[in-house]
Amino acid sequence: MEERNSRRSFIKKASQSALLAAAVPATLKESNTMPTILPKNPSGANDRIRIAVFGLNGRGNSHVKEIMGLSDKANVEVVTLCDPDMNILQEKAMDFEKSYKKKVVIEQDFRNTLDDDSIDAVTIASPNHWHALQTIWACQAGKDVYVEKPGTHNIYEGKKMIEAAYKYNRIVQHGVQLRSSVAIREAVQHLQEGLIGRVYMSRGLVFRWRPDIGDKGISQTPKGLNYDLWCGPAPLRPFSENLVHYNWHWHWDYGNGDVGNQGIHETDLCMWGLGVQSLPERITSMGGKFLWDDSKEVPEILTSVYHYPKEKKIIQFEVRNWCTNQEDGAGVGNIFYGDKGYMVVKGYGTYETYLGKDREKGPSRSEKGELTLHFQNWFDAIRARDMSLQHGPVQTCHLASSLAHLGNISYRLGLQLEFDPIGERFIGHGENEANAMLSREYRAPYMLPEVV
């Protein structure tokens, strides 16, 4: 793979790479100084965008549905399905043919798809530990990318993803579809215009019904599953049904807990609505497992606090499993606090405001369809080769995901941590242990390149 990437980087993309000489932006604010209109693709603006979907056991099915639903309007189509589990691939290929009356290519090793010059773009719905590396390799191969949340499995990966997107002039869209919601965009505009006054605090809430997953121990790898490829850059642990296909979310080598699962939608909205464009300076987290004696490694209950002392703003994030209250209906959502009122964002596409001491109802709105709009936004940016059109640009992969990672690091070390948001390094007490968790050990040949 390294040899193939080298060939892509220095032969197929050399002319495009030379167009970018400036430093890669580390924050959304800094990105405003960067050129955002990219060179046109060799193909014309009316050519059909051919897409491969990576990961078909969960969210990837929604990708297929959304893309094929926009097929005529956006002139796009899914042509290839990729998954390390051949059993899933064959099942999904049959479903595809039944639904859309056409055949689709199936490929167990996504790297072969990256070598296919007829593929223009990829969507990534693989497990978290694969997101960044697949994105970087796709950029090197000249593909535009839609990557599910979290865009990264650790903080260092985010910087490399931004670097790759700019170096290879790729449109990388993060799957935080709330940014394309008509209602939520209106809500954020209200926050920016002072409807609830000076917004000083945001809360992210993820209260999900997560059951006991037991401990199924080690078993034989099922036929049809390329388990080495499934593990990829992560450790090749003995196969267990507690990992494949969903419960990897609750193991540190592959997932990031619910703050790094459902919670990325909320960490992203916390930062967007609060108007902060960098990572915090002080982080503290506390939680644990209080319900189940199962094989989960991540906490069932987690409360993280992120402090921005210079801006006098604070983010509080809560993960709760099982039975709980709903916090003004925002069991999965956000609450913003200002000196004139507060705003509740409930799940997807709904917000309500309450103003003054008596909580008088202010503006509200509920509107669905945000995922379709988010894919359409990606296609619009691809057609125009213009990053400034994106609602979920590559920087959101880094910032929203990193906020979750910071909370997890504080929890795992049991320390309140100080962080330098410019250098993106921990400082002070516990800095050595914390900085060691900014990245990970990668397993050959699935190595994150130092130079993308």
DSSP one-letter code for 433: H
Could you tell me which residues are beta bridge partners of residue 303? Answer: 286, 318
> Sorting pLDDT into bands at 50, 70 and 90, what band is 46?
low
List pLDDT tens digits, range 113-123. Answer: 999 999 999 99
39, pLDDT greater than 90: no
Average pLDDT over residues 29-56: 62
What pLDDT does 348 receive? 85
Phi first, then psi, for residue 351 (nearest 5°) are -140, 150
- Residue-level length of the chain: 452
List pLDDT tens digits, range 364-396. Answer: 999 999 999 999 999 999 999 999 999 999 999
Phi first, then psi, for residue 17 (nearest 5°) are -60, -35
Report helix, strand or coil for 297: coil
Q: Which residues contact residue 222 at a Cβ distance below 8 angstroms, ignoring those fewer than 6 apart?
A: 85, 87
Domain 182-368+401-429 adopts which CATH fold? Dihydrodipicolinate Reductase; domain 2 (3.30.360)
Q: Chain-centre distance of CA 36, in angstroms?
A: 21
- Whether 218 contacts 241, CB under 8 Å: no
Strand order in the sheet with 105-107: 105-107, 76-82, 49-54, 121-124, 144-147, 172-174
Domain positions in the chain are 2-179+372-394, 182-368+401-429
Domain 2-179+372-394 adopts which CATH fold? Rossmann fold (3.40.50)
Full-model pTM: 0.91
Q: Where are the alpha helices (DSSP H) in 292-365?
A: none
Average pLDDT over residues 262-270: 98
List pLDDT tens digits, range 50-62. Answer: 999 999 999 999 9
State the residue for tokens 């700019």: 166
Name the average pLDDT for the chain.
Answer: 91
Q: Do domains 2-179+372-394 and 182-368+401-429 have the same CATH topology?
A: no
% of the chain beyond a pLDDT of 90: 89
> Sorting pLDDT into bands at 50, 70 and 90, what band is 338?
very high
Average pLDDT over residues 171-178: 98
Average pLDDT over residues 250-258: 98
